Amino acid sequence: MDTKNITAAALRRMLDNKEISAKEAASEFLSEIKTKDDKILSFITVTEDEAMRNAEAAQKLIDAGEAKPLTGIPLAIKDNLCTDGIKTTCSSRMLGDFVPPYSATAVEKLIAQDYTLLGKVSMDEFAMGGSTQTSAFAKTKNPYNTECVPGGSSGGSAAAVSAGFCAAALGSDTGGSIRQPSSFCGVTGLKPTYGRVSRYGLVAFASSLDQIGPIARTAEDCGIILNAIAGVDPKDATSRDVPFTDFNEKLGKGVSGMKIAIPKEFYGDAVDEEVRTAVMNAAHEYEKMGASLVDCSISTLKYAVQAYYLISSAEAASNLSRYDGIKYGLRGEGHSFDEMIRDSRNRGFGDEVKRRILLGNYALSSGYYDAYYRKALALKQKIIEEYNAVFEQADVILTPTAPTVAYKIGAQDNDPVKMYTADICTVTVNIAGLPAINTTCGYDKNGMPIGMSIVGRRFDEATIIGTADAFERTFSPVRCTL
């Protein structure tokens, strides 16, 4: 089995047709991890025993003709999603030994499908970063070029899928953390509408922006996984009870008659020429399929990064205030309560997390709340209004996913502002709570993947999955070589 190219849908057919057993499938992926992940460092915890138990149970269901879409499919889980009895670190020393007594709702829904868990994959610490280099345990590398970053914060998830270490993976997306690493690693990643998937059991970064979603090789696979994990959850008050039937219902139906918006601000000088060209070539490919392109403007894009980092850092500072080393987290040392907390946070948090906490507390402090945080919230409403106006004249929006391809490891270590501005193409989707999917649309002169994002109306994931699928049927991906 070619683990780099096999899709979850194809593996489902192989399992059901008895061309391969669930244990054989799990073993092949585990073998790839054992022999090659030392080059990529995508996994923090490999659950080999758990995987084989899962596969054995799945095979009984397959033999009985009771398999569900993900029964026996080997998946990886980002390490900020709680897994009962399995270490969940958030790639932070603060939670280096944390073993949750419960699983996230999204994970529980995969368990209900009898999937196979291969392990927990690396990420930027507490999901704060765009390179997976802030991880305290596994600084993941890009499978296309191990001198480059895989993106982040779900870099471990994207790299594991790209390298053929799993059929698909779960990630989380706060400002592009599924889509950007998917772009860098040449795979497909879906950020669902805010509220479509329960966040219960997802270790919070920014609660009004975080959303769990799949990373896979195709839009079809993303739809299969979203079908499994979507739905309202009484444990998450922000989850929405919006009915759905099948997120893959528009697969193979093409884009004839659709209107695709091209916002000019997403194609400016900040975007590399090769990226801009690849995405526009994809837009013209959609025209050949019968879609029409609509020029439009989202003027608030120039303020989006500032608004995003004010909102997300403020929420992060609030969410991370619970880590004091006393109730839980790395136990600090000292002769007083204050000394223990200070030592716990000093040793437990990395530099990027500390930077976000400082920025968030500053934005929320007396005298600055109105000047910064309240204005960011006002801009959020303006961004939502501009997206609504675009969707009055178009069905989907097409943009680059990132302004560049994957950059060299260490290139932005001393310039956090440059790293933050690289999120320009993705953050507005989270601010507006919209769904978006990344898929590969080309490669640069060095063979590094270029991704494009298709943005849809709230709770209309089926349309963006169908639109991505239409392009994927015309495009021949070049998988990485390890």
417 by Cβ neighbours in 10 Å (0-12 / 13-18 / 19+) ranks as: exposed
Range list of H helices, 104-148: 105-112
Residue whose structure tokens are 């997306």:
173
- 81 with 178: CB under 8 angstroms? no
Partners of residue 214 on adjacent β-strands: 170
Partners of residue 230 on adjacent β-strands: 197
Is position 153 annotated as part of the catalytic site? yes
Is position 78 annotated as part of the catalytic site? yes
Residue 301 has a CB neighbour count (10 Å cut-off) of 21
Tokens linked to 102: 């419960």
- Say which of 21, 92, 135, 153 is annotated catalytic: 153
- 312, 215, 223, 188 alpha-carbon torsion, rounded to 10°: 100
Among 129, 150, 188, 134, residue whose Cα is nearest residue 40: 150
- Say which of 91, 122, 177, 344 is annotated catalytic: 177
**H or E stretch including 120?**
strand 116-121
- Say which of 4, 23, 78, 380 is annotated catalytic: 78
DSSP annotation of 125: G
Distances (CA, A) of 155 to 205, 325, 389, 400, 462: 16, 27, 33, 18, 25
How many whole angstroms separate alpha carbon 305 and alpha carbon 145? 28
Residues designated as active site: 78, 153, 177
